[in-house]
Amino acid sequence: MSDAAFVSIRELVGLRREARELTFLPRMPIHSPLPGAHASRLRGRGLDFRELRAYVPGDDIRDIDWKVTARTRRPHTRVYDEERNRPALLLVDQRVNMFFGSRLHMKSVTAAHAAALTLWQVLAKGDQPGAIVFNDEDQIELRPARSESGSMAILRVIEKMNRSLRADDGRISRPTQLNRILGHAGRLAKHDHLVVLISDLDGFNEATRPLLNRLTQHNDVLVMRVSDPLERQLPEADRLVVSNGDLQLEFDAADPSLRSSFAQTFQMVIDAGQKELTKRKVPMVSLGTEAPAAGQLSALFGRRAHSRRP
């Protein structure tokens, strides 16, 4: 049974079977729920030309060979094979602010599950998964490598950092750590990487923009934003008491104006982040702690059995 607060290596390895059904890497489905049909697609760098054939309805019009089409007076499309051994870099957030959850899992657990699913999907495609797993004080970097041992090393680091989280150890949340990790990722992923950030995006600010620009210049970037229902909407209750460990605040959670303001503030933060990412053609998906990550990713991207093949 899955632990709501912590992950185990056995659990992360067990997600390999579910990852085989996912099809979201390295390209999004044509009918992706992400905003912007073209802006939200990962570029799928590293393609080898395989053949030229007659156009079939449903083919991507961007792959039409217009010179051959003009010469033969029949539409033709270029077919590509995805190049193997493409490096992928997972940025897995295990900061203390991720150690929060009101439903099925902590945000840190949902992030760990999403990272494991992504890792196994990358490895199944013959690509090279690597990772930077980070908390508020430390980061552990594992260079991309296409091997079982390398993948297991990543999962062990995720498990170790996840299980070190505590709510009462006096650890201070450091929002600035997010930009520090993005800066390091930009120096590591110089060209043709797939970079997947799995985080609640605490610390996303003006300084994030140039870091994203650097990352997206020569790489594909995908953001998985993790949130909890209690962050999106106050629970239906009369009076609530919240504390940061030192101070506490009591308020009326049933107040309609307070509930509306709380939900609007959260949505404003989401919209602002989405706007910045859309400008840079970075797709963002939202994952919640109230449901298994595998099911959410399947609903967003589809399963392999339903993918269209040329």
Task: Answer yes or no: are the C-beta atoms of 66 and 172 closer than 8 Å.
Answer: no
Residue 206: inside a domain, yes or no? yes
72 and 200 share a domain? no
DSSP string spanning 209-243? Answer: HHHHHHHHHHSEEEEEEEE-HHHHS--S-SEEEEE
Q: How many domains does the chain have?
A: 2
Is 309 within a domain?
no
Q: Of the residues 55, 82, 109, which one is the last residue of a structural domain?
A: 82
Describe the strand order of the beta sheet including 284-288 as a list of residue ranges. Answer: 139-142, 128-134, 87-93, 194-199, 220-227, 284-288
Same domain flag for 172 and 65: no
Q: Which two tokens stand for residue 54?
A: 């007659």
Same structural domain, 208 and 265: yes
Mean predicted confidence (pLDDT) in 118-124: 93
Domain check: are 64 and 112 in the same one? no
Q: Where are the alpha helices (DSSP H) in the chain?
A: 9-14, 16-19, 66-72, 107-124, 148-163, 176-188, 208-218, 229-232, 256-279, 293-301
For residue 202, being part of any structural domain is answered with: yes
Q: What is the pLDDT of residues 252-291, one digit of tens each?
A: 778 888 888 888 888 888 888 888 888 888 989 999 999 9
Decide if 305 is inside a domain: no
The last residue of one of the domains, among 62, 82, 102, is 82
pLDDT at 60 over 80: no
Q: Is the pLDDT of residue 223 over 70?
A: yes
Domain identity same for 66 and 180 = no
Same domain, 87 and 68: no
Same domain, 56 and 136: no
Domain with 165 in it = 9-28+83-300
Gap between the Cα atoms of 201 and 53, Å rounded: 44
Predicted model pTM: 0.79
In this structure, the answer to whether residues 236 and 282 fall within a common structural domain is yes
Residue 245: predicted pLDDT: 62
276 within 8 A of 209, measured Cβ to Cβ: yes
**What's the mean pLDDT when you consider all of the chain?**
84
> How many alpha carbons fall within 13 Å on the CB side of residue 67?
2
Q: How confident is the model at residue 24 (pLDDT cuts 50, 70, 90)?
A: low
pLDDT at position 83 is 56
91 and 240, same structural domain? yes
Question: Does 234 have pLDDT greater than 90?
Answer: no
Reply yes or no on whether the pLDDT at 135 is more than 80.
Answer: yes
Q: Which of 29-38, 209-218, 229-238, 297-306 has the highest mean pLDDT?
A: 209-218
Residues 76 and 200 reside in one and the same domain: no
If asked whether residues 198 and 68 sit together in one domain, one would say no
User: What is the SS3 assignment for 308?
Assistant: coil
Q: Give the β-pairing of 128-134 and 87-93.
A: parallel
Residues 130 and 205 in one domain: yes
